[in-house]
C-alpha cells in the first residue's frame, strides 16, 4: 500500500517564527509532490509543488525534496496567524493518482 | 470561471437511503476523483476516472458507485447509506499530466443518521 505519512500536530509556533512541516512517502517511484493548505470547513488549495531534489522557494514558502530519503518538507517563514490551517502533503505516482497524508494542523499564535 | 462544482453542499440521510452526489467541471480535465475526509483526517480516494467511460476503484470504494458518461460530469452514488459514510466528500479534477495539480470542489458534508 502506498503511504504518505505526516505528523498530525498540532504544531504551534509564535507569529514571525519559521514553521517546518514534514512528510514521508513509501512509494519510491513517486515523481510529483504537492503541499495543499486546508482551512477548517473549506476545500484544499495548492500552495506549492516540487518535482526535483532540492529546494523550491515561493514567497514565504519553501518546499524541500529528498527522493533518496523519501522525504518532503514545507517551510513557512515569518508565520502569520492567517497561516493557521491544516497542511496536506500529496504524492503523485506514475498513475497520476494523488495520495494524501493525514495532514498537519498548524497554529500560529499572535 | 466555475472550476469544479459539487451539489449539494449539505445533506442528511437516514440509514438505508440512497443518494447521488453531483460533480461537474468546466476545465475539460480528463481526470476526475472522489475523496472522502473524515474529521481530523486526510483525504482518502474513493473512485477515480481517467476519461469518459473509464472508472476505477480507489482506496475505499465499498458502498459507493460512480459513472462517467461525459468529460464534465462524475457523479458519486451512495446505496444503502450507513453511519460510517458520514463524512465530507470532495470531487477533484486534473489534467492527465504527471506534474499537474488537482482542483477541488467546495465539498459536500453528508451526515447519515
Q: What is the pLDDT of residues A71-99, one digit of tens each?
A: 999 999 999 999 999 999 999 876 667 88
Residue whose grid cell is 462524475: B74
Gap between the Cα atoms of A22 and A8, Å rounded: 10
Confidence of residue B1 (pLDDT cuts 50, 70, 90): low
| A102 half-sphere exposure, CB direction, 13 A CA radius | 11
CB within 8 Å of A28: residues ≥ 6 apart: A70
Place B22 in a pLDDT band, splitting at 50, 70 and 90.
very high
Grid cell 451526515 is found at: B111
Q: Do B40 and A97 touch (CB under 8 A)?
A: no
**A39 close contact with B: CB closer than 8 A:** no
Range B30-38 average pLDDT: 94
3-state DSSP assignment of residue B1:
coil
Residue B91: predicted pLDDT? 97
Residues in B closer than 8 angstroms to A34, CB to CB, are 101
Q: Report chain A's mean pLDDT, rounded to a whole number.
A: 92
Q: For residue B99, give the nearest of A51, A97, A100 by CB distance.
A: A51
A contacts of B33 (beta carbons < 8 Å): 97-98
Q: What is the pLDDT at residue B2?
A: 79
Chain B's closest residue to A35, CA to CA, is B101
Output the pLDDT for position A96.
66
Amino acid at each position: 500500500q502506498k503511504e504518505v505519512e505526516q505528523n498530525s500536530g498540532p504544531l504551534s509556533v509564535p507569529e514571525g517564527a519559521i514553521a517546518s512541516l514534514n512528510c514521508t512517502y513509501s512509494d519510491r517511484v513517486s515523481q510529483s509532490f504537492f503541499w495543499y493548505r486546508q482551512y477548517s470547513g473549506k476545500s484544499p488549495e495548492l500552495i506549492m509543488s516540487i518535482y526535483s531534489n532540492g529546494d523550491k522557494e515561493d514567497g514565504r514558502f519553501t518546499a524541500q525534496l529528498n527522493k533518496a530519503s523519501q522525504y518532503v518538507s514545507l517551510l513557512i517563514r515569518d508565520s502569520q496567524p492567517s497561516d493557521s490551517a491544516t497542511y496536506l502533503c500529496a504524492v503523485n505516482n506514475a498513475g497520476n493518482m494523488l495520495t494524501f497524508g493525514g495532514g498537519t494542523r498548524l497554529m500560529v499564535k499572535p | 470561471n466555475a472550476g469544479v462544482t459539487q451539489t449539494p453542499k449539505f445533506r442528511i440521510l437516514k440509514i438505508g437511503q440512497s443518494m447521488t452526489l453531483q460533480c461537474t467541471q468546466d476545465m475539460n480535465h480528463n481526470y476526475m476523483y472522489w475523496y472522502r475526509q473524515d474529521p481530523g483526517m486526510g483525504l482518502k480516494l474513493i473512485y477515480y476516472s481517467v476519461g469518459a467511460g473509464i472508472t476505477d476503484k480507489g482506496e475505499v470504494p465499498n458502498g459507493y458507485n460512480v459513472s462517467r458518461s461525459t468529460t464534465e460530469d462524475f457523479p458519486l452514488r451512495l446505496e444503502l447509506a450507513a453511519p460510517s459514510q458520514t463524512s465530507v466528500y470532495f470531487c477533484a479534477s486534473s489534467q492527465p499530466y504527471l506534474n499537474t495539480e488537482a482542483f477541488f470542489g467546495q465539498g459536500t458534508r453528508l451526515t447519515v443518521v
